[in-house]
Every structure is written in structure tokens, then in C-alpha cells.
């Protein structure tokens, strides 16, 4: 499984679900080629999504609780939209 979510992707194998950040090779013969850099390994998709939410919160530039709550709402909306797109729904 590989599910793109913006600049992240969720992948899985028979043992775990992995949250990856999409990155590009900066130099060498593969310069510009995209690759997945693992951020964390989880036992479930739910755990992986929770980690993505926490990561986005930690990287937030919010300066008030109200801003942070609004960002969390936007992140949740973004994740739902990405899953709708992946299922072919609008």
C-alpha cells in the first residue's frame, strides 16, 4: 500500500504501517528524483494518522490556542479530503 497525503505518504508491508516524508535527491545522478524518507513505524493506519496529526501540530506556527484549534481542524479536513480523493470521491 502507498497512500500519498500531501508531502507525506503512508506505506505498509506485512509487519507495519510507515509514515514517510516525500523528499527529493539534492545532488548526484538522481538529482530531483523523489524518494520516501521514513518518519515512523506503526501497528495501525489509525496510529500512523494520529502521528501525522501530532507532527503537523508540532510544526505549527500558531501563536494562540484558537489558531492551533483552527489548524487542527484544517489538518483533519485535509486528511479527510485526501482519503476522499484516493477513493475517487469529491
Mean pLDDT in residue range 22-51: 93
More confident of the two residues 45 and 17:
17
Domain that holds residue 49: 2-86
- Cell numbers 470521491 correspond to 89
Global confidence as pTM: 0.75
Domain total of the chain: 1
CA 51, distance to chain mean position in Å, is: 9
Return the half-sphere exposure (C-beta side, CA atoms, 13 A cut-off) of residue 62.
16
Q: What per-residue confidence (pLDDT) applies to 66?
A: 94
Amino acid at each position: 500500500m502507498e497512500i500519498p497525503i500531501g508531502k507525506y505518504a503512508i506505506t505498509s508491508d506485512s509487519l507495519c504501517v510507515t509514515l514517510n516524508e516525500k523528499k527529493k535527491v539534492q545532488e548526484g545522478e538522481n538529482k530531483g528524483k523523489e524518494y520516501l524518507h521514513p518518519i515512523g513505524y506503526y501497528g495501525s493506519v489509525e496510529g500512523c494518522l494520529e502521528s501525522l496529526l501530532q507532527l503537523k501540530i508540532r510544526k505549527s506556527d500558531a501563536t494562540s490556542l484558537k489558531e492551533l484549534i483552527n489548524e487542527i481542524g484544517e489538518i483533519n479536513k485535509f486528511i479527510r479530503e485526501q482519503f476522499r480523493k484516493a477513493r475517487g470521491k469529491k
